[in-house]
Each structure stands twice: as C-alpha cells, then as structure tokens.
Chain A
Amino acid sequence: MDPIDKLFSDKLKNHEVQPSDRANILFLSKIEKKEEKKKPLFWWTMSLAASLLIVGFAGFYFYSSKKQNTVDLAQNTEKRQEDVKLSENAEIQNSTLPKSQENVLEPLKEVGEKGFSKSVTVKHTSKIVEEQDLVVSDKSSQLSEYQPTKEVLKSVQIAKIDEKAQVASAIVPNQETLIFLTPMLAMNGAMNPHQKALTMKALQSNSENKEDYFSEEKSLFVRVIDEVKNLKKGEKVDFNKLGFKPIEELALNQDGFIVSESHQIKEKLNWIKSRLNNN
C-alpha cells in the first residue's frame, strides 16, 4: 500500500468530527416531523373505526327495536283476529242463513244518525251461503228483525271475511240498493279485519248511544271517516272529536312560528309599500 494512502487511511478512517448544535437541532426537528406525520394518520384511523362502531351499534339497536315492534304488532293482529273470529263465530251461530235458501234481506232500519242511508237493500246471490261465509253484524238481535224473501239477485255479493285472508271481496251494490257501506269498505280490502269489524259496528250499531260513538275506543281512522261523511252532508267538521287542530287554526296561533314569520313578511311588505308611496 502506498505510504500516503496508508497515512491518510490510518489517521482518517475512524476520525470523528463533532457535529455543531445546528446539526443536532436539525436532526431533532426532522425526527419530530416524522413523529407528527404518524399521529394524524393514527387519529384518523381510530376516529373512523370508532364512528363505524357507533353506526353499527345504532343500526343494530334500531333493527332489534324494529323487530320487536313488528313482533308485537304481529301478536296484536293475531289477537285481534282471534277476537274477530270469536265474535264472528258467535254471530254465525245466531245469524247464518240456512242452506239452500235464497234469501233477500229486507231493508235495514235506520242505523245511524249521521251519514248513513236510511233505507238499504242487501241482496244475496244465488250462491249457497256456507257456514264459513260470514255476515258481519253486530248482534243477533239486529238480524232477527229482518225477514228474508225468496228473490235473489246475482249482482250482489256478500262481504266475506275469510278465516285466513286479510282482504275482503268487493261489494258491488245493485242499482236498486242504496249504499250503506262506508267508502273504505268499497275500497276493497283497505282495512284489516279489526277495523272492518269496528266499522260495521259503527254502521249497524245503535248510534243513538253517543258515548259509544264518541268513545276513545273508536280509532282515529273511524272518527275521521265519520267526520268525512258529515262533511259530505254539508256539516262542519268537529276537530275536537278527532283530537287535532286544523292547519288553519295552527296558522292562526299567534305564538306559532308560521304566523310570526308571515306577520313579519307582511309588515316588511307594508313598510316597502309605504316608502314607495312616499317617494
């Protein structure tokens, strides 16, 4: 090895030069920058994971509560169906028409104060009324007043409530018959059996009993339908029975948001008009 090479190699191979403070600070700053870069990413990932967990738990909670509600609803409907069945079965025993007879019911008597037609004819088809077919009525006393005739019209069908089915067949009134059914029955199965039973009750029950009519047991749906009928007759709607205020009344509420906003707008418009007129 060349002596010059050896000299420089021996002396300088492991030679150390102490870095200045400037170099140390530079190193520290670079290290800290790297550590800061990691932190946001860490926090971003953690926050993302936490939000996903929260959404997951919320969704699970709502899903489980919804499921519970549907289970409860199913149970309630089953109960109602059972109730309807029981009542219907009781009625069947009292009021099923005999087989092989073609019957026509005499006009119903006045069944209600408001909104019901006073004379109605319901006629059976030539079909034999089987035991399963139900004439939904309130009580046996009602039907016992009617005396069936032998005339049969094919165009009329009796409303059926199947044991299983939720939908009732359409009732097509004859030209000679006046409609005694509510619009909702004519909508062909818009109601569930419970509602239908209640409606028929309302139709055929002795509505002189106002307490029954206005009782809280009646569903909002039934009450609304009754008020609609009143409206058709030309009477005003009584919102107190329904339990809510109309939009106009809400709008007239002086403390309400709608009124205050519209009032403010009106005032501003008047002010602008006054300024324009002055100019």
Chain B
Amino acid sequence: MHLYFETSYMTKILSIFETEYDLAKALIKRDPIAQRTFYDKFSGKFLGICCRYISDVMAAEDIMVESMMKIFEKVNQFGFKGSFEGWAKRLVVNEALMYLRSKKMFEVTMEDMHELQNSYSQNMDFESEELLKLIQALPNGYRTVFNLYAIEGYNHNEIGELLGISEGTSKSQLSRARVILQDQLKKNEKYGYSI
C-alpha cells in the first residue's frame, strides 16, 4: 500500500517514466513527482538491504531515508551506463556500511581458518523473513561480510577494501557466518520454522 498515491494513479505516474533512465533524468531535474515515485518504487527494496546490515529496524529505516536523499543529490553522477537500480543499491549499501563504521560495529576478530564440516539440510524451504531474522541474529562482522559476499557479490579483495580488513580476515568471517547460519537452519528445520 502506497502512502502517497492510489494504485491507479501510481500506474499513471509510473507510465510517465517508461524506463528507469527517464526516472533518472527527472530526478536530475529535481522533479518532486519523480522523487516520490522513486521512493514508492524502491523504498521497500532499499529497506530490505538496510535490514540485512542493520539489525535495528528503526535505524535501518533512518539509513534508508538518508540513502534516498543521497541518491537524489548524486543522481547527476549516474553516467547512464548499466542499471540505475544497481547503481542506487550500491549507494544504499555504502550508506549502511558508513553507519556501521561510525557506530564501530565491525566486530571483526582474527580467527584461524579451519575446515568446517558443512552438513546441509535437505529441506531448504524457508521464508524470506525467517532467513532475514537469521542474518540479523549474526554478529555484526560476520553479518556484514556474509551480506557482501553471498548476496551483493563482492569478492574478498573488494570486501577487504570496503571494510579495511585483509582478504584472510574476510574469508574467515564468511566461514564463521556460514557455520552459524547452518546451525540455525538446522534448528529451525527441527522445530518447524519456529524462530
């Protein structure tokens, strides 16, 4: 349910911006309708990203709104190359990371890498919200690295540059995150998704 417009009216508005490039051009012109359209279209996705990095929902919402403002400010830097949505999502991730850095929530600990016996559950039918809760339950460092590697698709070198850590640390953090998640998945499977 949209806050500002009814669905039919929203459809009309969206039809004005046939492509995301049209929307980007309108945002460059600081069109207020375009800004509200962009918020309605992408606020859910961006909040989903923020919730993966920041466990506190209210803080995640604040970061999402801040990300929107940042996008409106920097939209003129979008070179109209590639996906506008992908460009905007990267900005949101950066905002989330900056928030974590400011709060010093990277609990990155140096741990020796060790092989883990990964026994995966056969039943992988989990709801998205349940999985989100599992990620939010991870320690900050593990959660961040897992998000960047598994979902955003960064490699360990890029993660090291983003977070200011070494590749080895990034790998160990990822490994630990997987172990914890696996355990959690098994437990939930055992108890029938009751988290």
Measured CB to CB, the residues of A under 8 A from B are 2-5, 7-9, 11-24, 26-27, 30-31, 35
Cβ of A166 to closest chain B Cβ, rounded Å: 67
Contact (Cβ within 8 A) A12 B61: no
Q: Tell me which residues across on chain A come within 8 A of B69, comparing CB atoms.
A: 30
List of A residues within 8 angstroms of B60 by Cβ: 17
**Which residue of chain A is the closest to B73 with respect to CB atoms?**
A34
When C-beta atoms are compared, the residue in chain A nearest to B124 turns out to be A7
Q: Does B64 contact A (CB under 8 A)?
A: yes
Segment touching A, from B37-45, B101-109, B160-168: B37-45
- CB contact under 8 A between A22 and B61, given known A8-B181, A30-B69, A31-B35: yes
Residues of B within 8 A of A17 (CB): 44, 47-48, 51, 60, 132
Given contacts A2-B178, A4-B181, contact A19 B43 (CB under 8 A): yes
Assembly CA distance A18 to B36 (angstroms): 15
Contacts of A5 in B (CB 8 A): 149-150, 178
Report whether A30 and B181 are in contact in the complex, using a CB–CB cutoff of 8 Å. Answer: no
Interchain CB contact (< 8 A) of A19 among B61, B124, B185:
B61
Q: How far is the CA of A26 from the CA of B67 in the complex (A)?
A: 12
Contact across chains for B128 and A12 when beta carbons are under 8 A apart: yes
With contacts A11-B126, A30-B69 known, is A4 near B48, CB below 8 A?
no
Complex: A20 Cα to B69 Cα, angstroms: 17
The answer to whether A31 touches B61 (Cβ under 8 A) is: no
Judge if B32 is at the interface, Cβ distance under 8 Å: yes
Q: How far is the CA of A4 from the CA of B147 in the complex (A)?
A: 12
Q: For B131, what are the chain A residues with a Cβ–Cβ distance below 8 Å?
A: 7-8, 11-12
Q: Tell me, in angstroms, the Cα distance from A8 to B48 when the chains sit together.
A: 13
Q: How far is the CA of A5 from the CA of B118 in the complex (A)?
A: 12
Q: Which residues of B contact A20 (CB under 8 A)?
A: 61
A9 / chain B contacts, CB cutoff of 8 Å: 150-151
Residue among A11, A17, A23, A35 facing the most chain B CB atoms (10 A cut-off): A17
Min CB–CB distance B7 → chain A (angstroms): 15
Contact of B3 with A by CB under 8 A: yes
B47 and A23: CB pair below 8 A? yes
Cβ A3 vs Cβ B124 within 8 A: yes
User: Please, which residues of chain B bring their CB within 8 A of the CB of A7?
Assistant: 124, 126, 131
- Closest B-chain residue to A25, C-beta based? B3
Over the window 159-179 of chain B, the binary record of Cβ atoms lying under 8 Å from chain A Cβ atoms (1 yes, 0 no) is: 000000000000000000010
- Sampled A-B contacts (8; CB under 8 Å): A4-B178, A5-B149, A12-B131, A15-B132, A16-B44, A17-B44, A20-B61, A30-B69
> A49 to B22, alpha carbons, bound, how many Å?
35
